[in-house]
Amino acid sequence: MIHKPKKSLGQNFLKSEPALNMMCETGEIKHGDIILEIGPGKGALTKKLLHEATKVLAVEKDYDLFLLLKEKFATEIKEGKLELLNEDILHFDAKHHHLKKGKYKVIANIPYNITGAIFKKFLSADIQPKKMVLLVQKEVAERIVARDGKESILSLSVKAYGTPKYIMKVGKRFFSPEPKVDSAIIAIHSISRNNFHTKVGEKIFFNLVKTGFAHKRKVLRKNIENLQKKPFQIDKIFEKLKIDQKSRAEDIKFEKWLQISQLLSTEI
């Protein structure tokens, strides 16, 4: 079956053996592991995952590719090693498929047009994965780990739930069709909700981050002063945490953001 990549679904198939191997190696796949693969495409990564994991759950939205994979991995499906689903990953229900919190890993070359939605869906889910190893746009990977030393809403949102690590660059020539930008493998380890003791605390943190970045030219102090009925409380928090009053949102490291939100929680 010849499959023509669909631009609308962000299909760019990885053809680099070293990159595929690195994704599996980074995933630290052991016997007994359950792997969720998003957008398996023609099955290059799926094949390697099946060699290492006890079970792979692969979610493919494209019906033509679903049929191709169904035929290609008929034996593994019959043996119960591979469960193939023809659905949109953004509608995927982990509970329905009996996945348990911290008991599965997400390893995938994801459609870049839904990168942010995938991070949000799985990192903030009630049933979080233990680890995520994703192939994303290089620029996005660099932003998540704040390679330039500047934080963003994206980097802080990921760090709120896990520890991101930039693994390696994957050039655009290693894809078919070739995209316009280079990619990179990124891993998110130790995924949990340990930074938040309550749902309210979690909500306050994200409201703080969103408000803090609302006007990038303003200093953080000005952006968030209206979060408090008594603006001088923000000054007290900055003084206590030894944060420069002239700091911008992008200059503040994750740990400080978390401390600010925790102090705001006690003040509200």
C-alpha span between 162 and 23 (Å, rounded): 18
Residue 228: both structure tokens together: 């408090």
Helix (H) or strand (E) holding 163: strand 163-170
* CA 68 to chain centroid: 27
Closest residue by Cα to residue 40 from 18, 1, 67, 22: 67
Residue 3 predicted with pLDDT over 60: no
Residue 78 amino acid letter: K
CATH number at residue 253: 1.10.8.100
pLDDT the model gives residue 132: 98
40 and 108 co-located in one domain? yes
Compute the chain's Rg from CA coordinates: 21
pLDDT, tens digit (0-9, with 9 covering 90-100), for 162-221: 999 999 999 999 998 888 899 999 999 999 999 998 999 999 999 999 999 999 889 999
pLDDT the model gives residue 226: 83
C-alpha span between 38 and 80 (Å, rounded): 18
* CA 149 to chain centroid: 20
27 and 124 co-located in one domain? yes
Phi then psi dihedrals of residue 203, to 5 deg: -65, -40
pTM across the whole model: 0.91
207 and 184 co-located in one domain? no
46 and 90 co-located in one domain? yes
Q: Are 15 and 170 in contact (CB under 8 A)?
A: no
pLDDT, tens digit (0-9, with 9 covering 90-100), for 217-248: 899 999 998 887 666 788 899 999 999 999 99
106 and 233 co-located in one domain? no
pLDDT the model gives residue 176: 82
Helix (H) or strand (E) holding 76: helix 74-78
158 and 242 co-located in one domain? no
Please check whether residue 128 lies inside any domain of the structure.
yes
**Unique residue bearing structure tokens 């953004």:** 90
pLDDT, tens digit (0-9, with 9 covering 90-100), for 37-82: 999 999 999 999 999 989 999 999 999 999 999 999 999 999 999 9
C-alpha span between 107 and 187 (Å, rounded): 9
pLDDT the model gives residue 228: 73
203 and 170 co-located in one domain? no
121 and 141 co-located in one domain? yes
Q: Which domain holds residue 133?
A: 7-189
